[in-house]
Chain A
Amino acid sequence: MNRLEQEIRLTELSHLTRRHFLSKCTTGLGAMWASTMLGNQLYGASQKLVKDPSNPLAPSMPLLPGKAKRVIYLHMAGAPSQLELFDYKPELEKLNGQDCPKEFLEGKQFAFIQGVPKMLGSQFTFKQHGQSGAWISDRLPHLSTMADDMCFIKSMHTDQFNHGPAQLLVHTGTQNLGAPSIGSWATYGLGSENQNLPGFIVLTSGGKNPDAGKSVWGSGYLPSVYQGVQCRSEGEPVLYLKNPDGVSRDMRRRSIDALDRINQKIAEETGDPETVTRIAQYEMAYRMQMHATDAFDLKQENEATHAMYGTQPGKESFANNCLLARRLAERGVRYIQLFDWGWDSHGTGKDTDLKIGFTDLCNRIDKPITALLQDLKRRGMLEDTLVVWGGEFGRTPMRENRGGGEMSFVGRDHNPGGFTIWMAGGGVKAGTSYGETDPIGYEAIKDKVSVHDLHATMLHLLGFDHEKLSFPFQGVGQRLTNITKPGTKVVKGVIA
């Protein structure tokens, strides 16, 4: 361990020196890159985001003061039921088993429900928790203890009711492919505080990709350096991080030294600024080999921590990913995106039954998320780390009747009209609940929050005006809050 720490310090020093060298060699180049990439747009008269091409991930200041310095986004792919977790609806209990009234069905499109389904009350009991009195079901006993640190938005709505498009919308602001994800925008806007790790890291439970594929962490029309890097808690954390068998770290160092010296010669001969940049990238890769390995080494954590998170080093689990999220947050990674999957509780089998499979999933996330919040809080990091939890839409207050009849397991269909997400830390108002759905939890009715509003709010917390953080593409200053969706607003009510 000592040797590693020493090496980290040494490489950081040589990094500093090299940065100095680079900055001397590349005057004029920054302007070039900025003009290629940014055109003469678009940050208002005085605000300009200028990027150093040899180091496009260099940390930069946000345009406005923002409380959140980094984001940990916990996405429950498949869309967890708000009615079994946070949205307490006693009215719905009363309707349990009755035919769904016509007015709830007219003009609606469902993924699987046909004809007239039955209403379905919550499968679990709710209680109020903490000083704030937040309603939480009995499925999340650990997380309930954190109620006063959380801020629920119960009036989320979206316009997509299929997983792929809805996930794209949640992460890129459009249901179509080709737009950058929130994490790309965040690293584009803020750079990364740690040049030895990717600035935007994605971790998936069991290595399963979400329905929408890797586009949900793609950089879209932003430069590809801002795309999310999928890391693994098993095997190499970053693809191709490990030197080949038989190549030691010293040997790699020696080879990069030779590479650097020859490349410097080439740079002098050709005058190509890209060559200078390349030298810096190889150095960064070398450091990343060590820092990423170190960051992903869960064995460094003590027994108490493992007990708190429920982690087992070497496994690809959601719990491990939560602990990794904290380790990455500590190291200055800007945006940490976790995907858990299996939350699509249609009731077509045991795994998607609201009582059986759903309960297993709750058990899988309850402790690790609680531990993550507590751990961040204890380290004083919660105040500048924005934690977001949610799915891509909600679930219907009607029981799914796939194929038109009663199914042997209990499930709910997709519901874009209302769902709950929660946030914690990073400048959000702790111990609050914002917005409401109707008495059966079907449609958001009070203080409605669209996915775009959520994005505007997240950017605000990170220090950006969502209308100003933009990038020229296809003739328009594009932004995370979809320019074709006017009326997007920052949700002031959730900001501390």
Chain B
Amino acid sequence: MAGEVSFNRDIRPIFLKNCTACHGGVKEAGGISFIYRERALREGESGKNAIVPGKPESSEMMRRIRSTDPDEMMPQPKHGTPLKPADIKLVETWISEGAKWEEHWAFMPPIEKKIPALKNESWTTQALDRFVLHSIEQNKLTPSPQASPAEWLRRVSFDLTGLPPTIDQLKELEAAWNADGKAAREKVVDHLLASPAYGERWATVWLDLARYADTFGFEKDPHRDIWPWKDWVIRSLNADMPYDQFTIEQMAGDLLPNATADQILATAFHRNTQTNTEGGTDDEEYRVAAVIDRISTVWTTWQATTFGCVQCHSHPYDPIAHEEFYEFMDFFNQSEDSDLKNEYPKIKLVGDEWVKLHRETRALREALDAEGRKISDTPWKILENISFAPQHGTMRMDQDGMIFSEGNLRSGTTHKISGHLPKIDALKISIYPQSDNPKNWPEIGAFVTLFHIDKISTDGKRTPVPMGEVIADHLSGSTDPMSAFAQKGIGARFQRFKDPTGRDGATSGLGEFPRIAGPRKFVILPENQITLQPGEFIEISLKQGANANESQTAYVRKFKIEVTEDARYTALRSNPKRIETWQKVFDNLDRMLALKGTEVPVMADRPAAGKRETRLFARGNRLTKEQVVKADVPDLLRGNFPKKEEANRLDMARWMVSTQNPLTARVMVNRLWGEMFGIGIVETMEDFGTSGTLPSNLALLDHLALRFQGEHKWSIKKALREITLSSTYLQTSKATPALLERDPKNQLLARGPRNRLSAEMVRDQALATSGLLSKKMYGQPVYPPQPAGVWNSVYSGANWNESKGEDKYRRGLYTYVKRTSGFPGFLTFDAPSRDVCSARRIVSNTPLQALVTMNDPAHIEAAAALAEKMRQHSGEIDAQISFAYLTVTQHQAGPHIIKELVALYQDLKKETPEAKGSMGPDPALTLTANTILNLDAALTK
């Protein structure tokens, strides 16, 4: 028996079934875990070693699994049943052979397996066919015969474009099929791959993964303009953007050097997370929820690894440690977005112009701050005779000059602070979180929405002090601190510093909003030096008008105000070069505001000085934070990822598409395969880990993956071309009862695929075959007819305003996606709600689907249009029916089908001989067409 036991095949399944629930990633009972070899081999709490390689007789594990003593036996009786004798024997052999550990297949690099000579070598067309045939022959099966041109054409048209072929396309293929079938098929495939419909069909797959929707989600579920990203996906797929680039741009396009507007737009992938605008919801809670959703989505989409569970504890089955979740989280934790209604940060789409201006302005602005921060040794002082006048609540100052503001502070509360210094060149406001312990950060925001100074002369006369500029410790969030100055003239200019995409007055100001994650410091320069005579004083007004969580005043609770006499500041303020730079900033902002374009939420990281500290959450609870962690990838898949101080999303994206990553290519080719064959080579397309299903043909998967990242240079079209032109794909789907019994899911691939159309395809086919389909691409989502009353969110005035003209007949992927209320016809056909990443639509078969295709007015309209085409085609009912059947299914209707449908028409005609409403001039013919569109042959590909 020596050398016959395989850890992956024989032993790991035994561990998973019987042991890891207690000795795994979540619990390590007795100090033993069967996830890592060293933890399985080490001395347990009992002082004994569970496994001693080579020595089953000394291995505690063997004694325990053989024991019948209820106190000793494993698994414990309350946790499971004893191991089968055969399994015990396997474990024993494995230990005696040295307890060799193997990594789970998916975490090891793909290998091109050599396939020996095959009996039926001539059957193969593509290299992949040899892998399939090898498995077919090993299972003592034979491939099925070739599909007919009609069967193959229907299949390949839907698979590549999501649309049925036309009768002309069918005729052309049939004419060329016998002479040179291969060439004829190549022509078809190349034509389909070049069709714009290709990008539309495959975009749908990506939109499910990206949880794309046209709304924020949650209670009010307001509208979100993010459709330009959907257009980006369609365009990129049609241009066959290599998958590595497709990945990098979506993951971190904003971090690419001199990123184009398109590259930044690509990152909107991550902004498809939900934003909770329900009053009173904790902005930080939902910011973190969005970050965590990004992590789960990335791991499901690119790595097919269940990473979400590592949020609370080490992975129960796979060797991924608890802290590694948070290290990975750090990549995404730096993004600026924070669950705000304004959805900052956004990009304005007007070619690259806005992006260039924005980048330039930001650099100028940061340079201005940096120059200001060079003055670092100024003697800051507390105002003499300082006094406080809070509008609400109380204020007090301690001996260090720290000011505390407490009590019921309504939104808009203005605090006044007065005091004296003969000459003031600059003021400094330092805003602190209440707690000194960083583990308690972030706290609710501390934000001054208006900052204003009056000079009060001895006679009580009040003169506003013109304000100059703010030198910030760093710039983050949607507002420039300069926007806190609201005086006329200069203030109005600064108001433009509000959210650079131009909105949200309530959050203009300085401080940190909606959360404060550490002390912030702002030096404020008046336009000119302030000079005060004895008896004169200044009065500083701090208005606090911003509401975090849409309900709680984000006021400054703990802060310092200091002043200085330091001519360097006034000199800096009046430096002509600096004034010129400011002017350039203002001009740029004017130009950016004047540009008209759709604003789309995208990724943008906080600046280095304003980085968020990422801490491990104890048991996944964000309110109990532990040590600080740094961005990193899990050791399990490290490959060549460098251990460096500051890794960012771009580093991570490049790691993901490096040839060292064993998962990315496999996961993608498995997805392409699953979309066409109805079942992935790994059935659990979302989970390649040890808890997922094993690949039905690992050699085939590896071959496809290696070709995808090698020869094809990540070209999705080339990968699809090879699959669709394979002998495997060319087989007929007809199944004999014996084959069906042997291989119900068609994993041995001894027949072609036969699957139900997707939700979008069902609709698109009805529109296409009836001639109603609009070819218009891209743009705003559309509102095809939907029953009244489906859209009824609370606190939302949004209405389903039915589209007019051709927008009524656009392809399914352009239909408006509202998260809390999906398009009923699609949900019924298993389309996901797009709340979270969906890697696989599990196909159901329900009576509600029948009701949609029989009665949905859109389907009736299509049937009426098809009936009209039938009438135009011929005056004879027989010819009309075979024409419709051919149009819809691409198959010639046999005599029995024609007879059945003619009889149907004639019976119906007796019932309703005349025109009627939506059923058109000949309701009987419309209902006959509707029947054809409901046939199994019409609903499958």
Contacts and interface: CB of A to CB of B under 8 A. Distances in A.
Nearest to B739: A271
Contacts of B489: none
A408 to B, nearest CB: 15
Contact of A263 (B551, B691, B737, B936): B936
A261 B833 CA distance: 35
B927 A247 contact: yes
A213 B279 contact: no
Interface string B787-800: 11110111000000
B919 A239 contact: no
A114 B407 CA distance: 9
A106 to B, nearest CB: 13
Contacts of B713: none
Nearest to A227: B827
A281 interface: yes
Nearest to B928: A255
Contact of A208 (B792, B819, B844): B792
Contacts of A247: 919, 923, 927
26 contacts: A32-B744, A110-B552, A111-B279, A162-B282, A177-B274, A209-B792, A212-B820, A227-B827, A239-B790, A239-B851, A244-B918, A254-B908, A257-B904, A259-B934, A263-B936, A269-B734, A271-B736, A272-B754, A272-B936, A273-B744, A278-B845, A281-B845, A288-B851, A414-B280, A474-B687, A475-B309
A238 B847 CA distance: 11
B244 to A, nearest CB: 27
Main secondary structure of the interface of B (DSSP, over half): loop
Nearest to A402: B551
A258 B931 contact: yes
A213 B821 contact: yes
A270 B687 contact: no
Interface string A200-217: 000010111111111100
B767 to A, nearest CB: 17
Interface in B725-765: 733-737, 739-741, 744-745, 754, 756
Interface stretch (A59-67, A228-236, A461-469): A228-236
A378 B101 CA distance: 67
Contact of A273 (B740, B901, B904): B740
Interface in B802-844: 819-822, 824, 827, 830, 833, 835-836, 842, 844
B77 to A, nearest CB: 12
B141 interface: no
A241 B81 contact: no
Interface string A345-363: 0000000000000000000
A277 interface: yes
Given A112-B280, A244-B860, A274-B756, A235 B788 contact: yes
Contact of A272 (B822, B934, B940): B940
Contacts of B734: 269-271
B687 A263 contact: no
A209 B794 contact: yes
Interface in B681-723: 683, 686-687, 689-692
Given A247-B919, A476-B691, A274 B940 contact: yes
Given A109-B282, A474-B306, A266 B937 contact: yes
A148 to B, nearest CB: 35
B847 A282 contact: yes
Contact of B392 (A163, A204, A244, A404): A404
B221 interface: yes
B364 interface: no
Contact of B741 (A28, A37, A255, A284): A28
Of the listed residues A235, A244, A262, A282, the one surrounded by the most CB atoms of chain B closer than 10 A to its CB is: A244
Contact of B824 (A45, A239, A243, A277): A239
Interface in B533-562: 549, 551-553
Interface stretch (A218-226, A418-426, A431-439): A218-226
B368 interface: no
Given A269-B734, A285-B851, A210 B794 contact: yes
B531 to A, nearest CB: 38
Contacts of A236: 787
B276 A162 contact: yes
A256 B836 CA distance: 37
Contacts of A178: 835-836
A238 B411 contact: no
Interface in B399-446: 407-411, 413
A254 B794 contact: no
A115 B219 contact: no
A217 B854 CA distance: 25
Interface residues of B, number: 108
A229 B842 CA distance: 18
B83 to A, nearest CB: 13
B918 A245 contact: yes
Q: Lowest 10 CB-CB distances: which A-B pairs, in order?
A: A213-B820, A111-B280, A115-B408, A475-B691, A246-B916, A404-B410, A285-B850, A177-B835, A285-B847, A284-B847
Contacts of B930: 255
B349 interface: no
A475 B845 contact: no
A215 B937 CA distance: 33
B935 A263 contact: yes
A116 interface: yes
A176 B312 contact: no
Contacts of B409: 114-115, 404
Interface string B898-911: 00110110011001
B848 interface: yes
Contacts of A285: 847-848, 850-851, 854
A218 B832 CA distance: 10
A403 interface: yes
Interface in A109-135: 109-112, 114-116
A260 to B, nearest CB: 10
A475 B278 contact: no
A37 B278 CA distance: 36
Contacts of B502: none
B234 interface: no
B258 to A, nearest CB: 38
B278 A162 contact: yes
Given A246-B919, A266-B937, A475 B850 contact: no
A251 B908 contact: yes
Contacts of B904: 254-255, 257-258
Given A164-B218, A239-B851, A484-B312, A475 B916 contact: no
Given A239-B852, A262-B935, 12 more contacts: A110-B280, A110-B552, A176-B836, A240-B848, A240-B856, A246-B917, A255-B931, A271-B735, A278-B939, A281-B845, A404-B392, A474-B306
Contacts of B739: 271
Nearest to A37: B842
B219 A211 contact: yes
A265 interface: yes
A114 B689 CA distance: 47
A86 B908 CA distance: 60
A197 to B, nearest CB: 10
A162 B408 CA distance: 22
Given A244-B919, A246-B923, A285-B851, A29 B280 contact: no
A237 to B, nearest CB: 11
A88 interface: no
A290 to B, nearest CB: 12
Interface in A84-107: none
A213 B847 contact: no
Contacts of B842: 37, 223-224
